[in-house]
Amino acid sequence: MRYVYDVVVVGAGNGGLSAASKLAQAGLKVIMLEKHNLPGGVATSLVRGRFEFEASLHELCDVGTEEQPLAVRNIFKGLGVDAPMVNEKNLFRAIVTGEDGYDVTLKAGEALFEESLEAACPGSGKSIKKLKDLLAKTREALAYNDRMNGRPNKLVMIFKYSKFLIAASHSVDEVLRSLGFSKKARSVLETYWLYLGVPADELNAFHYFQMLRGYIDSGAGVPEHKSYGLSLGLAESVLKNGGEIRYNTEVDRFLYDDDKRVIGVAAGGDEYYAKQVVSNVIPHNVFNMSERRNTAEKDRKLLNARRFGLSFVCLYVGLDRSAEELGIKDYTVFVAKKDSSRTQYDDDADLGVYVVNCLNVAVPDATPAGTCSMFFSIPVFSDKLMNGVEPENYKQFKSEIAKRYIADYEQVTGIRISDCIEEISVATPVTFARYFGSPNGTAYGYRLSRWDGLMARILSAADEFKIKGLTFCGGHTASGDGFGVSYASGLEAADRVLALLKEEGV
């Protein structure tokens, strides 16, 4: 069959959903094609027995409160999607074992955050003040940049917002050092590096602080109906506004005209033509589905220079005891073997660090009464981890990894869970590869390496992937991974498409 639309959105992940929702809202004839039979991509959930597990979301950044909504809540409000969520009061508990180890809990809210950091790392006061100042300056600079529509006056930037430029061009660790934080305080403050997947001595400081500020301001946002509830809500808004969604529909080819313009996509023999195509699918896969003559040398080289971000092994564990009975008090616990993200990162497949969430702490009735669920996320490098894993020993491989991390958690926290496991499911890079088709099973798109960090990407964005008729959105774009930024990137893609269509007089 041959279909014609204003816009085709390929992939119903976070970015694709928000893009399609906004485009449908704008009254365009939109269709979204998704290879899986559910919307959301990683923003999904899985049911085992009487448990429904959150599949991927730890916490939403930058949500604000119901009364004073910030970015993420505003996105849902703007798209007319009901997205009930709670604000978790603690940022995290970080347990570092071994020499110089610590067990620190940081609280959300500016004053409480400072108080808890000072309590954990006495003498940080002065540095905290400087950090606050830096965060404020960064915010001002961004506001100025927005006012100038992304074309700021260079001199103003240099003289008025030099602090921002510094944060924008140094690593987290460099900036925290320059602010005079102690080794322990730096380590504590850098705990979130995992969410961006690059160690703190390489990770762009501006990028990281943006996220940190988002969490400090309103605490982690936890959706009441799991991230799948948000996905389904967005899908509903697409349908409500007259858009179409086709599930079980895997795009296998991007269609170009002689002018190297994307004019549509093909899926299982059907062709979908459109004035504009939005791809929530990672550029690597789009290039695999495009003929070489239609792609630019520069873009191919960029993709070949890039490395993929982290993947994860996830354990979804349903326990037949409540969180209170087990003594679980924290929503988010980071466990690390050593206190430097760099040594962890260089440690190959086993990064010696993982995050454990207990959803019931934030959303008490997330599982039936008398039970609770735990979600372990273990960041991994797919290549090294999967070395030696064969189809025949895959089941055993999953059991062994689960056993190892559960035992470690028990040992580190003193909380015993292994004898109350009622359900368990294990996801690996193979799972990511299976459901999302992401190359190497990456969960985080492209690695935010020093040379390819947020600032570098933003500054170059205008010159990259200049493919007519095609706009990318999602965690693999300039803004990097993360739920909130992916939703935002979808809206940006939609805005771009709307502007382009306007130019063309549609």
* Ranges within 334-393 binding another protein (CB under 8 A): 340, 342, 382-383, 386-387, 389-392
Instruction: Please give the single-letter amino acid code of residue 403.
Output: K
Smaller CB separation from another protein, 77 or 395:
395
26 binds another protein (CB under 8 A): no
Greatest pairwise CA separation for the chain in angstroms: 69
User: Looking only at residues 446 through 475 of this chain, which bind another protein when binding is defined by CB under 8 A?
Assistant: 451-452, 455-456, 459-460
Smaller CB separation from another protein, 15 or 441:
441
Contacts of 2 (CB under 8 A, 6+ apart): 270, 271, 273
- The DSSP result for 218-281, as a single string, is H-EEEETTHHHHHHHHHHHHHHHTT-EEESS--EEEEEE-TTS-EEEEEETTEEEEEEEEEE-S
Residue span binding another protein (CB under 8 A) among the ranges 18-26, 104-112, 113-121, 242-250: 242-250
Binding residue (CB under 8 A) for another protein from 16, 197, 429, 482: 429
Write down the least CB distance from residue 160 to another protein, Å.
12
Please state, in angstroms and rounded to a whole number, the distance separating the CA atoms of residues 310 and 461: 22
What is the C-alpha R_g of the chain?
22
Write down the least CB distance from residue 32 to another protein, Å.
12
Write down the least CB distance from residue 486 to another protein, Å.
18
Q: What are phi and psi of 72, to 5 degrees?
A: -65, -45
Binding residue (CB under 8 A) for another protein from 37, 147, 259, 504: 37
Please state, in angstroms and rounded to a whole number, the distance separating the CA atoms of residues 444 and 438: 9
Instruction: Please give the single-letter amino acid code of residue 479.
Output: S
Coil vs helix vs strand at 113: helix
Task: Give which of 61, 54, 206, 214 is closest to 142, Cα–Cα.
Answer: 206
Kindly give the pairing relationship between strand 251-256 and strand 421-427.
unpaired
Binding residue (CB under 8 A) for another protein from 45, 116, 357, 471: 45
Write down the least CB distance from residue 387 to another protein, Å.
7
Residue indicated by tokens 């705990």: 191
Over the window 209 to 228, marking each residue x when it contacts another protein by CB under 8 A and - when it does not, the resulting string is: ----------------xx-x
User: Looking only at residues 243 through 262 of this chain, which bind another protein when binding is defined by CB under 8 A?
Assistant: 244, 246-250
User: Looking only at residues 50 through 79 of this chain, which bind another protein when binding is defined by CB under 8 A?
Assistant: 50, 52
Write down the least CB distance from residue 429 to another protein, Å.
4
153 binds another protein (CB under 8 A): no
Smaller CB separation from another protein, 175 or 497:
175
Please state, in angstroms and rounded to a whole number, the distance separating the CA atoms of residues 319 and 224: 20
Q: What are phi and psi of 59, to 5 degrees?
A: -160, 150
Binding residue (CB under 8 A) for another protein from 236, 347, 350, 495: 236
Write down the least CB distance from residue 344 to another protein, Å.
13
Look up residue 226 and give its two tokens: 């799991």
Please state, in angstroms and rounded to a whole number, the distance separating the CA atoms of residues 193 and 203: 8
Angle between helices 205-218 and 110-120 (to 10 degrees): 110
Binding residue (CB under 8 A) for another protein from 71, 86, 415, 433: 433
Please state, in angstroms and rounded to a whole number, the distance separating the CA atoms of residues 312 and 394: 15
User: Looking only at residues 74 through 113 of this chain, which bind another protein when binding is defined by CB under 8 A?
Assistant: none
User: Looking only at residues 268 through 327 of this chain, which bind another protein when binding is defined by CB under 8 A?
Assistant: 268-269, 284-285, 287-288, 292, 297-298, 300-305, 311, 320
Residue 44 · residue 38 · CB < 8 Å: yes
Residues binding another protein: number (CB under 8 A): 92
Kindly give the pairing relationship between strand 102-107 and strand 220-223.
unpaired
User: Looking only at residues 177 through 206 of this chain, which bind another protein when binding is defined by CB under 8 A?
Assistant: 177-178, 180, 201
24 binds another protein (CB under 8 A): no
Smaller CB separation from another protein, 59 or 452:
452
Smaller CB separation from another protein, 214 or 441:
441
Write down the least CB distance from residue 502 to another protein, Å.
27
Alpha helices in 52-182 (DSSP H): 71-78, 110-120, 125-147, 154-160, 162-169, 172-178
Residue span binding another protein (CB under 8 A) among the ranges 8-16, 138-146, 173-181, 354-362: 173-181
Alpha helices in 79-124 (DSSP H): 110-120
Write down the least CB distance from residue 112 to another protein, Å.
29
User: Looking only at residues 3 through 22 of this chain, which bind another protein when binding is defined by CB under 8 A?
Assistant: none
Smaller CB separation from another protein, 392 or 503:
392
Write down the least CB distance from residue 430 to another protein, Å.
5
CA dihedral 264, 266, 272, 278 (to 10 degrees): -50
Binding residue (CB under 8 A) for another protein from 24, 121, 135, 168: 168
Binding residue (CB under 8 A) for another protein from 29, 48, 253, 261: 48
416 binds another protein (CB under 8 A): no
CA 288 to chain centre: 24
Binding residue (CB under 8 A) for another protein from 166, 266, 415, 500: 166
Residue 448: beta bridge partners? Answer: none
Look up residue 126 and give its two tokens: 């002065």
